[in-house]
Amino acid sequence: MIKSNFDENEQEKVILTVEIQCVTPPLDYQLEKLRSFFLSEYEADDIDFIIKKTPGVIGGFRIFVNDESYDWSTLGRIRQLRKSFLSLAKGHDPAHIISLLREGIENFELHVGHEPVGFVSTVGDGIATINGLHKVRYGDVVLFDSGVKGMVQDIRSDGTNGIVLFGSDSEIYEGSRVISTNRTAGIPISPKILGRIVDPLGLPIDGGPDIAAKEYYPIERPAPGIIQRKSVNRPMETGILAIDSMFPIGKGQRQLIIGDRQTGKTTIATDTIINQRDKNVICIYVAIGQKASSVAKAVSTLKKYDAMDYTVVVSSPASDPASLQYLAPYSGCAIAEYFMYHGRDVLIVYDDLSKHAVAYRTLSLLLERSPGREAYPGDVFYLHSRLLERAAQLSDSLGGGSITALPIVETQSGDVSAYIPTNIISITDGQLFLESNLFFSGQRPAIHVGLSVSRVGGSAQTNVMKKSVGSIRLDLAQYREMQTFSQFGGDLDSGTLKQLNYGAGLMQLLRQPGNSPMTLPHQVITLICAREKIFTDIPLKKIKSVQQDLLSFFDHHYSAICHKILLDPSYSPALHQEIKDAALDYLNHHML
Ligand code: ATP
Ligand code: MG
């Protein structure tokens, strides 16, 4: 800091304070050299040295003057050497590495690091306000004296910056120093991340070894543009009959799962992940602000069904600071992009974005941004749209990879018109609305047929599925209406009774326990049999067990039909007839 003293002649004298961090204090001649260097560099009259013992620098000196720092320390040299080796080795044949390293060592020249330093003015609740770092950009990572990292989230007109901290703020004080790492926040990544559980910074939290990262992907990246995309045309099968038949999802689509608490939202997502086994799809499950026990439950389900081999879990439980919870979906998306740009198909689940919005609201209020509707900041729509827009089906020239996103949103008492639900409904390509009443009446998965929709998946549905479904969705909608009507009692004509009966049967067929995805042939057989009224005379309570029985009958006696559908998923009247005949055969032999 520059102090000004007044001598007898009332002439101002500038005294420069220079802090030297070192292990062994500088010798007298070194101090003299430093004195003359800084006197000429800063035009001061005198220098006040403060010598601080800092074992971290290993050797040499690290010097802080005003808002700048000079690095003559061993630590700084090691960092520089490492950086130069890394840039040398990048893109070269591993066979040449020794000669490259030798050349690197011979030509290595130490540059004295000279970088700006900022100071903390306020800190609390995981947020720090700093000043002095004028050249940082939004999203840059900064490093505090205590070793804690943070991310620039606010650049203000008065020259201060709002920083969200990625660690504890207990060792950051007013006046603590902070430097910029000149890197935007990102996640180190390599294919070895598959099967791992990581935090939003990409560090493993499953007790396993470090992930040897090959690349560094920024957590925020512009979504692919129109030219870089092609339309959604391949199915992303969930293995859930109600979804694959009536609300099909395509690769590259964004399909919202929305419903009250405990209505089976997570189960739909994990079922979809389980169903991707042997389908060459990489899955990412992002858990935001959930209880650690819920995350553990989801992970153990995935492990139980051998789904962890192709899955990455990004977890930021409720105990994490809001800043990490805010980062989690972006980190997950960066991992997804890594695989997508390598030509792979990726499924990413954000469980759930309501908690993400709450974390962002916390951050924004602490950063003193003005609150808007429901106290969320004005840009909360943009928060989610820039995340979900990154889901895409890339064009063939970019490798044809895709990201399918399944965001989850929790509603309060089924209110879809609250702020966050309406936002996300308008960003996504459709929603699966789960209803508590259906769930508690035993209709699981509790998908509300009237309020759910898939706007793009139809073009991605396999031909055989599209033709087998027929008008089932409409039939169910009619059934719901008639059901309300029939509650008033009175005599119903036989046609209405038949339709009611058919609808109730369909609802039974659509019931499916968790973690038991259905294959495409089984789904097609169920749908065709339902439309052919094979289950009409079976009591409601027995329909589910007859369905299971019928499907295993097909597996044992008509496995050729199943193979045929798997090999060529296209519909033909002959196939339809074959299935119908086989089902009649079953009825004749088993239902007597
Ligand atoms: P939360 O709001 O707590 O996140 P959620 O909506 O994600 O809940 P889940 O955790 O998926 O709901 O499911 C709640 C309970 O319902 C779980 O015990 C789960 O096993 C059960 N469940 C979910 N789907 C089904 C299903 N199709 N059949 C039977 N049980 C189910
Ligand atoms: Mg859940």
Tokens of 465: 């599925």
Write the residue with the smallest CA distance to atom 17 of ligand 1. Answer: 264
Per-residue pLDDT of the chain (592 residues; tens, 9 = 90+): 444 554 555 567 888 888 888 888 888 888 888 888 888 888 888 888 888 888 777 777 888 887 788 887 777 778 777 777 777 666 666 667 777 777 777 776 666 656 788 899 999 888 999 998 888 999 999 999 888 999 999 999 898 999 999 988 888 999 888 988 888 999 999 999 999 999 999 999 999 999 988 889 999 999 999 999 999 999 999 999 999 999 999 999 999 999 999 999 999 999 999 999 999 999 999 999 999 999 999 999 999 999 999 999 999 999 999 999 999 999 999 999 999 999 999 999 999 999 999 999 999 999 999 999 999 999 999 999 999 999 999 999 999 999 999 999 999 999 999 999 999 999 999 999 999 999 999 999 999 999 999 999 889 999 999 999 999 999 999 898 888 877 776 677 888 888 899 999 999 999 999 999 999 999 999 999 999 999 988 999 999 999 999 999 999 999 999 999 999 999 999 999 999 999 999 998 876 5
Best of 262, 295, 509 for a ligand 1 pocket test (most atoms within 8 Å of beta carbon): 262
Ligand number, closest to the Cα atom of 240 = 1
Please confirm, yes or no, whether 455 is among the known catalytic residues: yes
CA nearest neighbour of 280 among 441, 456, 400: 400
Q: What is the pLDDT of residue 6?
A: 47
Q: What is the pLDDT of residue 1?
A: 47
In this structure, the residues whose C-beta lies within 6 A of any atom of ligand 1 are 261-267, 410, 444-445, 512-514
Tokens of 68: 């700048």
221, 229, 234, 455: the active-site residue: 455
Write the residue with the smallest CA distance to atom 21 of ligand 1. Answer: 264
Tokens of 301: 């389900």
**Spatial distance between the Cα atoms of 7 and 10, rounded to a whole number of angstroms:** 5
CB 200 within 8 A of CB 327: yes
Tokens of 178: 């902070």
Ligand 1 centroid, distance to 227 Cα (angstroms): 40
**Spatial distance between the Cα atoms of 489 and 487, rounded to a whole number of angstroms:** 5
Write the residue with the smallest CA distance to atom 19 of ligand 1. Answer: 264
**Spatial distance between the Cα atoms of 12 and 487, rounded to a whole number of angstroms:** 94
Write the residue with the smallest CA distance to atom 23 of ligand 1. Answer: 264
CB 255 within 8 A of CB 406: yes
CB 392 within 8 A of CB 335: no
Q: Which atom of ligand 1 is nearest to the CA of 434?
A: 6
Ligand 2 centroid, distance to 312 Cα (angstroms): 17
Q: Which atom of ligand 1 is nearest to the CA of 259?
A: 6
User: Alpha helices of 344-451 — where are they, by DSSP H?
Assistant: 353-366, 380-388, 419-427, 436-440
Write the residue with the smallest CA distance to atom 9 of ligand 1. Answer: 264
Q: Is the dihedral angle over the CA atoms 90, 95, 96, 100 positive or is it negative?
A: positive
Ligand 2 centroid, distance to 475 Cα (angstroms): 30
Write the residue with the smallest CA distance to atom 13 of ligand 1. Answer: 264
CA nearest neighbour of 257 among 416, 27, 29: 416
CB 370 within 8 A of CB 426: no
Q: What is the pLDDT of residue 11?
A: 63
CA nearest neighbour of 514 among 296, 263, 142: 263
Ligand 2 centroid, distance to 314 Cα (angstroms): 15
Domains of the chain and CATH, by start: 14-106 (3.40.30), 115-184 (2.40.30.20), 188-461 (3.40.50.300), 468-590 (1.20.150.20)
Q: What is the pLDDT of residue 218?
A: 93
Q: What is the pLDDT of residue 62?
A: 83
Ligand 2 centroid, distance to 174 Cα (angstroms): 40
Best of 241, 267, 302, 353 for a ligand 1 pocket test (most atoms within 8 Å of beta carbon): 267
Ligand 2 centroid, distance to 301 Cα (angstroms): 13
Write the residue with the smallest CA distance to atom 2 of ligand 1. Answer: 261
Q: Is the dihedral angle over the CA atoms 27, 32, 38, 44 positive or is it negative?
A: positive
Ligand 2 centroid, distance to 273 Cα (angstroms): 14
Ligand number, closest to the Cα atom of 410 = 1
Q: What is the pLDDT of residue 510?
A: 96
| pTM for this entry | 0.85
For the chain, report the end-to-end CA distance as a whole number of angstroms: 96
- What's the gap between Cα 148 and its chain centre? 23
DSSP 419: H
Neighbours of ion ligand 2 (CB under 5 A): 266
**Spatial distance between the Cα atoms of 424 and 412, rounded to a whole number of angstroms:** 15
